[in-house]
């Protein structure tokens, strides 16, 4: 089973999203964290989940539904290392990573 490594930029994106949501609804921030964790566990079981980026097919996008929108994680699976690297994280309504 692949291991999942969340990189510093992805952690920073997750923390930014958590802080924003916590100022509005602390309970929702906790539930969002649980949804994110569940989806990252899916990466351990199915590292080719998500859709590949058109211009970078070795990179994939994982949609994490939450509430009326959700979050997006950009990741890459390295089969030789049996490792999934989560490279970036943002709210679905943000335009770019």
- Predicted pLDDT of residue 1: 87
Residue 81 is predicted with a pLDDT of 96
Q: Give the architecture-level CATH label for domain 3-91.
A: 2-Layer Sandwich (3.30)
The pLDDT value recorded for residue 92 is 92
Distance, in Å, from the CA atom of 85 to the CA atom of 77, rounded to the nearest integer, reads 6
pLDDT of residue 24: 87
Q: What does the alpha-carbon distance between residue 68 and residue 64 come to, in Å, rounded to a whole number?
A: 11
pLDDT tens string, the chain, 97 residues long: the values are: 899 999 999 999 999 999 999 998 989 989 999 999 999 999 999 999 999 999 998 999 999 999 888 999 999 999 999 999 999 999 998 877 6
The rounded distance, in Å, linking the Cα atoms of 56 and 97 is: 14
């Amino acid at each position: 089973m692949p291991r999942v490594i969340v990189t510093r930029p992805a952690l920073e994106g997750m923390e930014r999203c958590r802080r924003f949501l916590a100022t509005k609804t602390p309970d929702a921030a906790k539930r969002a964290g649980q949804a994110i964790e569940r989806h990252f566990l899916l990466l351990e079981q199915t590292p080719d989940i998500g859709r590949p980026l058109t211009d970078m097919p070795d990179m994939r996008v994982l949609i994490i539904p939450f509430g009326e929108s959700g979050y997006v994680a950009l990741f890459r699976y390295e089969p030789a290392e049996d490792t999934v690297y989560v490279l970036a994280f943002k709210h679905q309504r943000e335009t770019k990573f």
